[in-house]
Amino acid sequence: MSERSSSDPSGSQYLLAIESTCDETAAAVLARDGRVLGECIATQESLHERFAGVVPEIAARAHLERILPVIDTSMRQACVDSSNICAIAVATHPGLPGSLLVGLSAAKALALAWSKPLIGINHVQAHIYACGIGKPESIFPCVGLVVSGGHTNLYRCNSPIDWVYLGGTIDDAAGEAFDKVAVMLGLPFPGGPYLSKLAVQGDPESIAFPRPLLDDPSRLDFSFSGLKTAVRYHIAGAGNRDWTSAIMSDRQRADVAASFEQAVIDCLVVKSMLAVERTKLNRLCVGGGVAANRRFREQLQRACDRRGTELHIADPSLCTDNAVMGALAWERYSVGDTDTLELDAQPGLLRHRTK
Ligand code: KG4
Ligand code: ZN
């Protein structure tokens, strides 16, 4: 599927990156040195809120309405036209099939109309690449933790695109657990940021929620489904039949939020440090929506400081889905590795080897 091309014949210098893997429609115009010339993200939160989760069909239709205005806005903001674009990058995997196809179709249409090369990128790899954007030194090799609404996985990242899967969630992703517990607490969607805000007022040690797989050092895996159920039973035990927060006091809700958040953080921190120890790579890079969580960032930093491990966490603005992390495509472009118009979307995650 991929194709080798000679160096850029037009002398143009920017990458147009497109992201539409889930419920964010995003585009960015990116310089090779990490500068962002233009960026536009259209969120769909209000469309999915009443379902308390992303509805794939709604997401795909919303992408269709937004993709061209989003691309147009990022190009205008950057004050560039097609002559300044040297390649079109698009996230092709993993993601929701309908959502991926909208971004990919737009990227292909522009590649054809403008006669530019197309570069498909792995969205999970882009989340880790975001940790190094604009930094003078390479962040590779490293242990990569991708912790988002769809993934909670650890990798040995030999290079930006040569990865080996080390372990990951065997059921829910951490962000998914945040979102589901947030629903139980009556918080808006997506629940992660709201839950962490509520948690600030609670006591993280007030409820002893389980830390699944934490005591098993033989595995670099996570499991959040049982933790989520434990929260549900705790809330039900407070006398609430439908597991909503209606009869919980504000203090009780905050304690549940803080204790749940702490249980997730403990699992993420312990397994990440174990991966660092196992791989003997003393550098940890973390990306994905949950990496925006303030308490998680602080506690992981402390754990890394104790061990003398170098930590790179993506800037909070680059943790949730965005097109700037599509700068990953420069890695392929710079060696003339581009794709043909036969490039296809691959919704499933290639777990064991993500190359
Ligand atoms: O990376 P992302 O935008 O999309 C996926 O690729 O899944 O991650 C979205 C996830 C959601 O589950 C959201 O609730 C969670 O990241 N999230 C957070 C925070 N900000 C976003 N979870 C916990 N604390 C946060 N501050
Ligand atoms: Zn993502």
- Residue-wise pLDDT for 234-287, tens only, equals 998 866 656 654 578 999 999 999 999 999 999 999 999 999 999 999 999 999
Q: Are 181 and 191 in contact (CB under 8 A)?
A: yes
pLDDT of residue 237: 80
Distance CA 103, CA 63 (A): 8
| Span 135-158, average pLDDT | 96
Distance CA 350, CA 355 (A): 8
Q: Whose CA is nearest to atom 7 of ligand 1?
A: 149
At residue 72, φ and ψ (nearest 5 deg) are -60, -45
pLDDT of residue 324: 98
**Closest ligand 1 atom to Cα of 196:** 24
**Which pLDDT tens digit goes with each residue over 30-64?**
999 999 999 999 999 899 988 888 999 999 999 99
pLDDT of residue 9: 45
Per DSSP, the three-state class of 213 is: coil
Q: Among residues 343, 352, 349, which one has the least CA distance to residue 2? A: 343
Q: Which two tokens stand for residue 187?
A: 């918080």
pLDDT of residue 236: 84
**Closest ligand 1 atom to Cα of 261:** 23
**Closest ligand 1 atom to Cα of 150:** 7
Does 171 score more than 50 pLDDT?
Answer: yes
**Which pLDDT tens digit goes with each residue over 60-97?**
999 999 999 999 999 999 999 999 999 999 999 999 99
Q: Are strands 14-19 and 85-93 parallel, antiparallel or unpaired?
A: parallel
- The secondary structure of residue 321, as a DSSP letter, is S
Residue of 45, 290, 299, 315 to test ligand 1 pocket, by largest number of atoms within 8 Å of CB = 290
pLDDT of residue 52: 84
Give 281's contacts (C-beta < 8 A, 6+ positions apart).
141, 142, 143, 156
Give 104's contacts (C-beta < 8 A, 6+ positions apart).
90, 92, 120, 343, 344, 345
Indicate the average pLDDT of the chain. 92
Q: HSE on the CB side for 238, CA within 13 Å? A: 22
Q: What percent of the chain has pLDDT over 90?
A: 87
Å from CA of 249 to ligand 2 middle? 34
Q: Indicate if the alpha-carbon torsion angle 349, 36, 315, 72 is positive or negative.
A: negative
**Closest ligand 1 atom to Cα of 23:** 4
Q: Which domains does the chain have, with CATH numbers?
A: 2-129+320-354 (3.30.420.40), 134-318 (3.30.420.40)
How many residues are there in the chain? 355
Distance CA 149, CA 320 (A): 9
Which ligand is nearest to the Cα of residue 318, counting in written order?
Answer: 1
- Work out the angle between the directed axes of helices 250-279 and 294-307 (0-180°, nearest 10): 30
Å from CA of 43 to ligand 2 middle? 13
pLDDT of residue 322: 97
**Which pLDDT tens digit goes with each residue over 294-340?**
999 999 999 999 999 999 999 999 999 999 999 999 999 999 999 99
pLDDT of residue 238: 62
The separation between CA 68 and the C-alpha centre of its own chain, rounded to angstroms, equals: 23
Which ligand is nearest to the Cα of residue 257, counting in written order?
Answer: 1
**Closest ligand 1 atom to Cα of 319:** 1
Per DSSP, the three-state class of 160 is: coil
pLDDT of residue 242: 60
Å from CA of 220 to ligand 1 middle? 21
pLDDT of residue 1: 41
Helix (H), strand (E) at residue 264: helix 250-279
Residue of 320, 322, 324 to test ligand 1 pocket, by largest number of atoms within 8 Å of CB = 320
Q: Among residues 96, 1, 79, 106, which one has the least CA distance to residue 44? A: 96
pLDDT of residue 53: 87
Distance CA 62, CA 51 (A): 15
Which residues lie with the beta carbon below 6 Å from any ligand 1 atom?
22, 148-150, 175, 178-179, 190-193, 196, 288-290, 292-293, 320-321
Cβ atoms < 10 Å from Cβ of 309:
20
| Span 223-227, average pLDDT | 96
Peptide bond before 141: cis, by omega within 30 degrees of 0? yes
pLDDT of residue 213: 94
- Using CA atoms, how far residue 172 sits from 52, 104, 139, in Å, is 15, 27, 28
pLDDT of residue 273: 98
